[in-house]
Amino acid sequence: MSCKIDYQPPSDLLKGRVILVTGAGDGIGRVAALDCAGHGATVILLGRTIAKLEKVYDEIEASGGPQPAIFPLNLEGATLKDYHDMVETLEAEFGRLDGLLHNAGLLGRITPFEQYNPELWDQVMQVNINGPIWMTQALLPLLKASEDASLVFTSSSVGRKGRAYWGAYSVSKFATEGFMEVLADELEHLGNIRVNSLNPGATRTWMRKTAYPGEDPSLLRTPEEIMPTYLWLLGPDSRGHNGLAFDAQPPRE
């Protein structure tokens, strides 16, 4: 699916919207949170490291964006009760959710499947797909309470075509694409919730460096440079697009 790298979002694109970003402490999640706030959204920062979330919180405050909220949660150990407790808190504070960006992710290891550690496999699947699935189920009532809600799942090129040695990460992203399509089809009749996936592509992040240690990072786009597609999907201009797989940047030659 085409990207929106040239999209020019109006400054008030997300004004009045409440958007939850997972993995908001660093990398793409941090930049997405800052950009959403910069375009008027009240952002709920979810992540496992409070110090990182507090730093993003301070950056948003310093830039004059709407006051954000912090919700510390480690998806690796999160339970169904944790998700429902989170919903109670968010419902009392905000009453609805207009956007949900599932961005938190775990790479695991780039290794032959024959040598893959089963415990690590379960870890990756928990953070990348099981956690987002049950968090989404818990948050659906808040998304339904919105007049115009956008649910975005972070995918990967290895979740659209399998690649040797990518193991649990690749499989978790295939599952992400499948769940996105199932949920989008189920919610289509509601008309107020759209569900799509977004592949960030090769981006200058710590995860990318871990996967490709010999790569020159200066050749990669920064998280800031791929934000237009994120903003387009989370804003009102993407209405009518549901169950689709988007790219945040053109594929590399």
83 is catalytic: no
Q: How far apart are the C-alpha atoms of 158 and 83, rounded to whole Å?
A: 28
Q: Are 167 and 121 in contact (CB under 8 A)?
A: yes
CB neighbours of 139 closer than 8 A, spacing ≥ 6? 20, 83, 87, 90, 97, 100
Consecutive H or E run containing 120: helix 118-125
Q: How far apart are the C-alpha atoms of 227 and 187, rounded to whole Å?
A: 26
Q: How far apart are the C-alpha atoms of 117 and 123, rounded to whole Å?
A: 10
- DSSP H helices in 145-238: 167-187, 206-211, 227-234
Q: Which of 57, 83, 169, 230 is catalytic?
A: 169
CB neighbours of 133 closer than 8 A, spacing ≥ 6? 179
Q: At what angle do helices 131-144 and 80-93 cross, to 10 degrees?
A: 30
- Active site amino acids: 169
